[in-house]
């Protein structure tokens, strides 16, 4: 016979026992040093566990899940995913490698039109820009598929503190141009719309590294993500667009460069828009 009222001890520690059971446990604890010791340990453990904070979800977790489930759904489910475009973009990333631009603009951009994208895919060149293939769903909806931002790029560029001063001005010019051409003007519109869903691996991993465990701040929008070097160390560079809050148009860019291995910050710069 088990003399120790084990099933009651959890509730006793929780403080949720009815009075008669509590009296039973307390009578037992008065005469059983083993259970009394265990209850003391359990009370401390419970306190530590209930104080554990909620862990921040890495940037892009939801996107990663949706990308994997959508890709699989095409094979395992009879349903046609309306956002098949994400899978098309992922295929473009796998297929090309050196440089891929992901995104959607409502305006036009000759250089990044689908024809140019296909040409680049056939003749992959350094820093080529590739547009996702238009899906049949987009055709049916009459949406013009166009590549732009958010952009992911792998380059041989070796940034330094000095060269970044110039680059930051160029990034700001690119941001202004993209905004003129229809890039979502506020963080709320970015995260609530299609542009965010076009941010796929490996860009998500890079942004997660740059965020380095900080909860995703949805007032900050990743605009350019680049795997390059900084002072000869492999680095991720992310250009963020930022406004005073999620509903106010961006008023500056922030450029964060981190070590690709440790995710430690190597450089930070900002520029008003």
Residues that bind other proteins (CB under 8 A): 6-11, 13, 38, 41-42, 44-46, 48-58, 61-62, 64-66, 68-70, 72-73, 76-83, 212-214
Rounded Cα–Cα distance for residues 191 and 254 (Å):
18
Determine whether 226 is exposed, middle or buried from the number of CB atoms within 10 Å of its CB (0-12, 13-18, 19+): buried
Q: Of the two residues 84 and 228, which places its CB atom closer to other proteins in the complex?
A: 84
CA 240 to chain centre: 13
Vertex 159, ends 244 and 201: CA angle to 5°? Answer: 65
Q: Which C-beta is closer to other proteins: that of 60 or that of 117?
A: 60
Q: State in angstroms the smallest separation of the CB of 211 from other proteins.
A: 9
Q: Which is nearer to other proteins, 191 or 229 (CB)?
A: 191
Q: At what angle do helices 85-96 and 61-76 cross, to 10 degrees?
A: 100
Q: How far is the CB of 34 from other proteins (least distance, A)?
A: 10
Nearest approach in angstroms of CB 7 to other proteins is: 4
Asked whether 253 and 240 are in contact (CB, 8 A), the reply is yes
Cβ closer to other proteins: 27 or 57? Answer: 57
Residue among 79 and 122 whose Cβ is closer to other proteins? 79
Q: How far is the CB of 48 from other proteins (least distance, A)?
A: 5
Please give the Cα distance from 196 to 233 (Å, whole number). Answer: 29
In whole angstroms, the minimum distance from the beta carbon of 142 to other proteins comes to 19
């Amino acid at each position: 016979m088990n003399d120790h009222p084990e099933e009651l001890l959890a509730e006793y520690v929780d403080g949720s026992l009815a009075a008669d059971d509590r009296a039973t446990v307390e009578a037992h604890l008065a005469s059983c040093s083993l259970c009394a010791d265990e209850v003391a340990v359990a009370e401390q453990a419970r306190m530590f566990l209930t104080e554990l904070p909620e862990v921040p979800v890495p940037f892009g977790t939801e996107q990663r899940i949706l990308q994997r489930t959508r890709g699989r759904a095409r094979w395992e489910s009879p349903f046609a995913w309306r956002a098949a475009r994400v899978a098309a973009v992922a295929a473009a990333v796998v297929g090309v490698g050196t440089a891929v631009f992901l995104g959607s603009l409502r305006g036009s951009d000759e250089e990044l039109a689908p024809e140019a994208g296909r040409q680049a895919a056939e003749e992959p060149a350094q820093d080529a820009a590739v547009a996702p293939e238009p899906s049949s769903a987009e055709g049916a909806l009459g949406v013009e598929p166009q590549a732009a931002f958010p952009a992911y790029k792998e380059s041989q560029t070796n940034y330094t503190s000095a060269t970044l001063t110039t680059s930051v001005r160029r990034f700001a010019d690119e941001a202004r141009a993209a905004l003129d051409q229809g890039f979502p003007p506020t963080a709320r519109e970015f995260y609530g719309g299609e542009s965010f869903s076009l941010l796929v691996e490996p860009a998500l991993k890079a942004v997660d590294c740059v965020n380095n465990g900080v909860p995703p701040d949805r007032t900050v929008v990743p605009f350019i993500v680049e795997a390059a070097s900084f002072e000869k160390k492999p680095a991720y560079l992310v250009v963020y667009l930022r406004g005073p809050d999620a509903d106010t148009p961006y008023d500056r860019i922030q450029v964060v460069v981190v070590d690709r291995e440790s995710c430690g910050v190597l450089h930070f710069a900002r520029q008003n828009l």
